[in-house]
Amino acid sequence: MSQLSASFAAGVDPAVRRARVAVAFVFFACGVIFSSWVPHIPLVQQRIGLSDGELGLALFFMAIGAISAMPLCGWLTGKVGGKRVCSISSLAFCLALYLPTHAESFAQLAAALFVFGACSSGMDVSMNAEAVRVEKDFGRAIMSSFHGFFSLGGLTGALIGGGLLALGVSSQLHITLMIVLIAVLCLLAFRYFLHNAPEAAGGHTFSLPSKPVLALGLLAFGALMAEGAMADWTGVYLSSVLGTSASTAAMGFAAFSVAMAAGRLSGDYWTRRLGPVNLMRCSAVIASAGLVMGLLFAEPLLAMVGFACVGIGLANIVPLVFSAAGRVPGMSAGNGIAAVATSGYTGFLAGPPLIGFLSELMGLALALGVVAVIILAAGPFAHVLRNRA
């Protein structure tokens, strides 16, 4: 909240202040929608009777839907404006939450998750494009706090969903309540968005990426690959390598997630203090060193501290990259963000299976060590953020 209160500094147009709060809420709402699905995954698996492999394949369709829709969503955002695309896609994303929770077969679940992922792309690209434009009007770095509110929304949605289900509230009632509540609040937030008009530099739907976009795409690929690896393999490392209980193993990702949320909420301050290039380099060192620490010491508590350092280090890489992608000359914010996000989410998708493959060859600790090297490699690419973030 301190990041939002800072927006009321002198010299900032009140309309821009309100827009910042509205966009931050939409990021929060997106996190809530995503995480509201999570508590229902085991329930859907049990109801349909899916194996772990079948469930994993069905979840893969959500990523395919998201990646497939991103280029179109970027083009639409540049063509008709972020406010229109965000308002339509967020309502569609809310309604799409109903589909996977009520699937009755593998085919229905896969199709539902494909639609869910595609709708998430529209909201993701358009709200980030709107965030870039509000950041420009605001006159200083504020992108990290937007992503911090997404993280807070994820934690909030998971807690609400888990709590209601634990109290015996039906799956259908929980989903209905979340759809109605988030949809109504989003509609209120959109009233305070600043930009209705299309962007001047609309670009083409498909074109060869420029060198800055390629460099930003590589940064996004590496950062989100690392996030995916941390999400899927920290618990496995703690339980299978360090021999912890399942409940203790779950705390590894919790430490990573909480640290990432804290890092993003404070990221605007550090961006202004250090500059985007130096912050990127410092972030890469902190994340890489934290992961190495977590892997070198065969002590669960030290491993969790290390994983928290990874969360702090990775926290601001994607916000910095998305902010820069929305400012690439000759491209609309929507197209730039869509191109870089497609690369990033491909990394998020490829990371966990790649770690599994490497783990078979060299062991899980060394496989995660490769992730530390990939994170550290972000440093030499940080110069691409100069004058863009």
Residues 315 and 322: their CA atoms lie apart, in Å, by 13
Asked whether residue 205 is domain-assigned, the answer is: no
Q: In terms of domains, do 379 and 230 share one?
A: yes
Which of 158, 190, 222 is the last residue before a domain boundary? 190
The pLDDT, as a whole number, for residue 56 is: 77
Which of 190, 220, 236 is the last residue before a domain boundary? 190
Which residues form the domain of 215? Answer: 211-385
Asked whether residue 202 is domain-assigned, the answer is: no
Q: In terms of domains, do 46 and 109 share one?
A: yes
Q: What is the CATH number of the domain that holds 173?
A: 1.20.1250.20
Q: In terms of domains, do 140 and 240 share one?
A: no
Residue type, 249: A
Q: In terms of domains, do 45 and 100 share one?
A: yes
- Each of the 389 residues of the chain gets a pLDDT tens digit; together they read 444 444 444 567 888 889 999 999 999 999 899 888 877 888 888 899 988 778 878 888 888 898 899 888 888 888 888 888 999 999 999 999 999 999 999 999 999 999 999 999 899 888 988 888 888 888 888 889 999 998 888 888 878 888 888 888 888 899 999 999 999 999 999 988 886 656 554 445 445 567 888 899 999 999 999 988 887 788 888 888 888 886 677 788 778 888 998 999 999 999 999 999 999 999 999 999 999 999 998 889 999 999 999 999 999 999 999 889 888 887 877 788 888 988 988 888 778 778 888 888 888 899 999 999 999 998 888 888 875 55
Q: In terms of domains, do 273 and 166 share one?
A: no
Q: In terms of domains, do 276 and 166 share one?
A: no
Q: In terms of domains, do 156 and 262 share one?
A: no
Q: In terms of domains, do 221 and 331 share one?
A: yes
Q: In terms of domains, do 268 and 326 share one?
A: yes
Q: Within a 13 Å sphere around the CA of 352, how many CA atoms are in the beta-carbon half?
A: 14
Asked whether residue 352 is domain-assigned, the answer is: yes
Asked whether residue 195 is domain-assigned, the answer is: no
The pLDDT, as a whole number, for residue 7 is: 42
- Cβ contacts of 134-139, under 8 Å, gap ≥ 24: 134/16, 134/19, 134/20, 134/23, 134/194, 135/323, 136/327, 137/13, 137/16, 137/19, 137/194, 138/7, 138/12, 138/16, 138/20, 139/12
Asked whether residue 199 is domain-assigned, the answer is: no
Q: In terms of domains, do 60 and 153 share one?
A: yes
The pTM assigned to this predicted structure is 0.80
**How many structural domains comprise the chain?**
2
The pLDDT, as a whole number, for residue 283 is: 95
Secondary structure (H, E, C), 79-139: HHCHHHHHHHHHHHHHHHCHHHHCCCCHHHHHHHHHHHHHHHHHHHHHHHHHHHHHHHHHC
pLDDT tens-place string over residues 271-299 = 999 999 999 999 999 999 999 999 998 88
Q: In terms of domains, do 186 and 216 share one?
A: no
Q: In terms of domains, do 215 and 330 share one?
A: yes
Query: Tokens 């420009």 belong to which residue?
Result: 136
Asked whether residue 201 is domain-assigned, the answer is: no
Residues 329 and 176: their CA atoms lie apart, in Å, by 43
Asked whether residue 315 is domain-assigned, the answer is: yes
Asked whether residue 131 is domain-assigned, the answer is: yes
Q: Are 192 and 22 in contact (CB under 8 A)?
A: yes
